[in-house]
């Protein structure tokens, strides 16, 4: 097994610095391995395990995961480091299902040769870990450690042989993509409550019937009206091509789902076909059309060629047509659906499948829309493979005279395949082409969405402000922050319906795992130096001065180059403040994601560097920055200096008659004084002043 990567290996580079990350951790183990090893010669057992490891590692690496370590009869792997993808839990589950499928032949061989049952058990959990190099100066490995790893191990230990078992934390993130069966709760060491577990029984076909989130559509009336108008034009024989463009989470898929629901009210027989780009399929030729065909004919990923033939040929026969034409089209469609299986059997060449697609499948597919209207969706087009991109452009030549409406939904990434398709269609089909740009929601619509999601009469303004500040008009972020409220039991069910839990502490809000994954995926596309600069900036705050960052940066000579990179990736933007060069994170949650990935010990060190840099740079205006200095020294656990600056901030606020702010600063000063065991008379003096402040504000 010389070509299998050592533990910690992956196709992605990694830095030496450890990080806090949300990972999907996989444990894969041979069931009953001790008994098996006793009945098989050691040399043969090693050969068996080496072959098993080949089957285990290949899917992990194909989906861009990382091997954490090998054991004598299994392995630990994870998704989310050193490179994050926004769908890492999905990748972990798909890789695990492929492991179970791929081991079948080896299992049959062992049963035949040794009369022994050979099965794998796989468990997955998603949660916060520390990931990095672990070991001594002489020997180390890149791996993950933390409670989430222990829970993943427990998922594997309690799984039935031959099955994949996942925790509820993983289930929440993948339930839309897989068929799951609840198995109830299991005891996990260190957990006060049982952990609910689920068995993954299969993969759902993406048909577009439930694309997008289940939250109400708010603030998109104009966009929906335009889509419906264009769909009506298509129905009347004027084919249409539409691009829906917007950042992740703004509601492109949700808008498509609403269009489908509205259209089916009046056109129940509408032909609505759906395909979705997937990041890990960008290297698979014609993946968008393979996904399209699977949805059209109800083909499961596990279906064998004979089953695929039955489904495709049967459906085409039902549609009608000459037997020869049906047979020709059926064969061509089956090739693309079962491309991997048939290619391995060498039943066709790559050139043959291209010819079939261009000359048989696409003409027949488009011709079906000459009489009855058809809507075809290509969602997440930014993840198109090159072959699908070229075929989509080719398909545009057949639209004239049909009732086919093609809708693309994609992110505005400048270098994505979607932009190439967009440019080509604008030049070739401009008279039939329209665009809908999706912008963030305004404050009123965001508040309306919060109300619809929570269904609570009296949402605390503090909670509402938190959602507004964190989500910044992104409906997906709104939904995830609200879901975090529910998960943290800040909202609970009563006899009168949902109510806010008055004991909730809003200040403890953390970034939801799903949002963290999306933002970390963007961060991981940066160079190591640019990412390090982003993390340093996150310690200063959402807004940060160039001078402060330069003071704490280890590579100040290259700082401007890294900041330019971060601007080009739309992570930060430039601002001017009193002739002082200042930058700002474009999204507060992006700042939160960068900050949360820093180890706690390093955070404290960086906060101290920031505070001391501010003291040096702003020595003539310390009062203006007192509250910031107090905060940084407090996180750095330099409580004595924190107390000093919080007292100073109290004086400033009190002098401006800002009693609430003065009270908050003074409470922080008291907390700092208690932390470093200040003299009793000092603490008593601070408490007396607090009593006066509270009394004055009553």
Task: Tell me the CATH number at 123.
Answer: 3.30.70.1230
Q: In this model, does residue 567 exceed pLDDT 60?
A: yes
Q: Tell me, what's the pLDDT at 176?
A: 86
Q: Tell me, what's the pLDDT at 353?
A: 80
Walk across the sheet containing 572-577 and list its strands. Answer: 543-545, 580-585, 572-577
> Considering 478, 509, 540, which residue would you say is the last residue of a domain?
509
Q: Tell me, what's the pLDDT at 409?
A: 96
The residue among 155, 157, 160, 165 whose CA lies nearest residue 200 is 165
Q: Is residue 7 part of a domain?
A: no
* Residues 658-672, mean pLDDT to the nearest whole number: 91
Residue entry with tokens 């070509």:
3
pLDDT over 90 for what percent of the chain?
A: 49
Q: In this model, does residue 578 exceed pLDDT 70?
A: no
Q: Is residue 619 part of a domain?
A: yes
Q: In this model, does residue 367 exceed pLDDT 90?
A: no
Q: Tens digit of pLDDT for each residue in 391-404?
A: 999 999 888 889 99
Say yes or no: 610 and 569 in one domain. no
Say yes or no: 181 and 37 in one domain. yes
CA distances (Å), 468 to each of 131, 255, 436, 604, in order?
32, 22, 24, 28
Say yes or no: 45 and 154 in one domain. yes
- Characterise 170 by phi-psi region: left (phi > 0), alpha (psi -120 to 50), beta (else): alpha
Question: Using CA atoms, how far apart are residues 236 and 377, in angstroms rounded to an integer?
Answer: 19
Q: 615 vs 694, which has greater pLDDT?
A: 615
Give the least confident one: 338-347, 444-453, 656-665.
338-347
Q: 134 vs 196, which has greater pLDDT?
A: 196
Q: Tell me, what's the pLDDT at 214?
A: 56
Q: Is residue 241 part of a domain?
A: yes
Say yes or no: 424 and 546 in one domain. no
Q: Tens digit of pLDDT for each residue in 215-250?
A: 678 999 999 999 999 999 998 889 999 999 999 989
> Considering 488, 509, 530, which residue would you say is the last residue of a domain?
509
Say yes or no: 40 and 159 in one domain. yes
Question: Using CA atoms, how far apart are residues 698 and 695, in angstroms rounded to an integer?
Answer: 5
Q: Is residue 209 part of a domain?
A: no
Q: Is residue 572 part of a domain?
A: yes
The residue among 469, 514, 462 whose CA lies nearest residue 490 is 462
Question: Using CA atoms, how far apart are residues 568 and 660, in angstroms rounded to an integer?
Answer: 40
Say yes or no: 85 and 142 in one domain. yes
Q: In this model, does residue 414 exceed pLDDT 60?
A: yes
Q: In this model, does residue 668 exceed pLDDT 90?
A: yes
Q: In this model, does residue 29 exceed pLDDT 90?
A: yes
| Confidence at 198, pLDDT banded by 50, 70, 90 | very high
Give the least confident one: 43-47, 131-135, 150-154, 431-435.
131-135
Q: Tens digit of pLDDT for each residue in 255-271?
A: 998 898 888 887 777 78
Q: Tens digit of pLDDT for each residue in 528-553?
A: 899 999 999 999 999 999 999 999 98
Q: Tell me, what's the pLDDT at 38?
A: 85
- Identify the CATH number of the domain in which residue 349 sits: 3.40.50.300
Q: Is the peptide bond before 82 cis (omega within 30 degrees of 0)?
A: yes
* Residues 44-68, mean pLDDT to the nearest whole number: 93
Say yes or no: 621 and 576 in one domain. no
Say yes or no: 121 and 251 in one domain. no
| Confidence at 454, pLDDT banded by 50, 70, 90 | confident
Say yes or no: 537 and 496 in one domain. no
Say yes or no: 431 and 495 in one domain. no
Q: Is residue 593 part of a domain?
A: no
Q: Is residue 514 part of a domain?
A: no
* Residues 343-353, mean pLDDT to the nearest whole number: 62
Q: In this model, does residue 556 exceed pLDDT 70?
A: no
| Confidence at 9, pLDDT banded by 50, 70, 90 | very low
Q: In this model, does residue 461 exceed pLDDT 60?
A: yes
Q: Tens digit of pLDDT for each residue in 318-342?
A: 877 778 888 888 888 888 887 654 4
Enclosing domain of residue 472: 443-509
Q: 643 vs 321, which has greater pLDDT?
A: 643
Q: Tell me, what's the pLDDT at 301?
A: 74
Q: In this model, does residue 347 exceed pLDDT 60?
A: no
- Identify the CATH number of the domain in which residue 559 sits: 1.10.10
Say yes or no: 642 and 503 in one domain. no
Q: In terms of C-beta density within 10 A (0-12 exposed, 13-18 middle, 19 or more buried), how is residue 668 classed?
A: buried
| Confidence at 610, pLDDT banded by 50, 70, 90 | very high
Tally of domains in the chain:
5
Q: In this model, does residue 75 exceed pLDDT 50?
A: yes
Say yes or no: 226 and 297 in one domain. yes
Name the pTM for this structure.
0.81
Q: In this model, does residue 482 exceed pLDDT 50?
A: yes
Q: Is residue 216 part of a domain?
A: no
> Considering 407, 437, 467, which residue would you say is the last residue of a domain?
437
């Amino acid at each position: 097994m010389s070509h299998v990567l050592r533990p910690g290996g992956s196709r992605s580079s990694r830095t030496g610095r450890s990080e806090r990350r949300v990972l999907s951790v996989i444990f894969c183990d041979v069931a009953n391995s001790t008994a098996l090893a006793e009945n098989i010669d050691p040399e043969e057992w090693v050969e068996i395990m080496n072959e098993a490891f080949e089957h285990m590692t290949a899917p992990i690496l194909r989906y861009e995961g990382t091997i954490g370590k090998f054991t004598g009869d299994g392995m630990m792997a994870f998704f989310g480091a050193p490179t994050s993808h926004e769908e890492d839990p999905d990748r972990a589950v798909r890789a695990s299902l492929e492991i179970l499928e791929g081991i079948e032949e080896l299992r049959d061989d062992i049963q035949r040769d040794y009369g022994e049952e050979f099965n794998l058990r796989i468990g997955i959990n998603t949660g916060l870990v520390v990931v990095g190099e672990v070991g001594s100066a002489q020997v180390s490995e890149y791996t993950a450690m933390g409670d989430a790893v222990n829970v993943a191990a427990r998922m594997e230990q309690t799984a039935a042989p031959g099955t994949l078992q996942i925790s509820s934390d993983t289930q929440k993130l993948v339930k839309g993509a897989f068929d799951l069966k609840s198995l109830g709760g299991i005891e996990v060491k260190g957990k006060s409550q049982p952990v609910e577990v689920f068995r993954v029984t299969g993969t759902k076909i993406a048909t577009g019937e439930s694309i997008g989130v289940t939250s109400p559509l708010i603030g998109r009336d104009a966009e929906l009206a335009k889509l419906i108008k264009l769909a009506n034009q298509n129905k009347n024989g004027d084919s249409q091509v539409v691009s829906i463009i917007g950042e992740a989470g703004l509601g492109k898929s949700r808008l498509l789902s609403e269009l489908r629901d509205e259209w089916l009210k009046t056109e129940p027989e509408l032909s609505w076909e759906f395909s979705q780009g997937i990041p890990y399929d960008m290297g698979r030729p014609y993946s968008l059309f393979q996904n399209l065909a699977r949805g059209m004919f109800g083909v499961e990923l596990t279906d064998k060629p004979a089953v695929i033939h039955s489904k495709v040929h049967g459906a085409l026969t039902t549609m009608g047509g000459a037997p020869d034409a049906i047979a020709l089209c059926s064969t061509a469609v089956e090739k693309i659906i079962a491309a991997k299986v048939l290619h391995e059997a060498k039943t066709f060449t790559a050139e043959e499948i291209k010819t079939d697609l261009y000359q048989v499948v696409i003409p027949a597919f488009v011709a079906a829309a000459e009489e009855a209207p058809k809507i075809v969706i290509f969602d997440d087009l930014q993840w198109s493979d090159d072959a699908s991109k070229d075929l989509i452009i080719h398909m545009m030549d057949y639209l004239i005279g049909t009732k086919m409406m093609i809708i693309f939904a994609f992110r505005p990434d400048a270098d994505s395949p979607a932009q190439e398709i967009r440019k080509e269609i604008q030049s070739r089909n401009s008279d039939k082409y329209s665009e809908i740009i999706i912008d963030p929601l305004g404050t009123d619509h965001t508040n309306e969405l919060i109300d619809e999601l929570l269904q609570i009469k009296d949402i605390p303004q503090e909670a509402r402000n938190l959602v507004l500040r964190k989500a910044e008009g992104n409906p997906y972020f709104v939904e995830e922050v609200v879901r975090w409220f529910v998960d943290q039991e800040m909202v609970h069910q009563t006899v009168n319906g949902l109510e806010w839990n008055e004991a909730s502490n809003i200040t403890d809000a953390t970034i939801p795992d799903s949002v963290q994954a999306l933002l970390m995926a963007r961060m991981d596309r940066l160079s190591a130096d640019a990412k390090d600069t982003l993390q340093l900036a996150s310690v200063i705050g959402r807004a940060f001065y160039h001078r402060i960052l330069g003071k704490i940066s280890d590579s100040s000579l290259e700082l401007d180059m890294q900041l330019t990179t971060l601007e080009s990736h739309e992570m930060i933007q430039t601002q001017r403040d009193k002739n002082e060069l200042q930058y700002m994170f474009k999204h507060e949650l992006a700042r939160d994601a960068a900050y949360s990935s820093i180890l706690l010990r390093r955070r404290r060190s960086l906060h101290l560097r920031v505070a001391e840099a501010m003291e040096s740079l702003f020595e003539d205006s310390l009062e203006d920055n007192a509250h910031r200095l107090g905060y940084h020294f407090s996180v750095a656990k330099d409580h004595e200096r924190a107390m000093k600056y919080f007292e100073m901030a109290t004086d400033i606020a009190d002098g401006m008659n800002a009693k609430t702010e003065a009270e908050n600063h003074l409470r922080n000063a008291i907390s700092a004084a208690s932390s470093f065991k200040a003299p009793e008379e000092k603490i008593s003096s601070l408490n007396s002043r607090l009593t006066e402040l509270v009394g004055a504000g009553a």
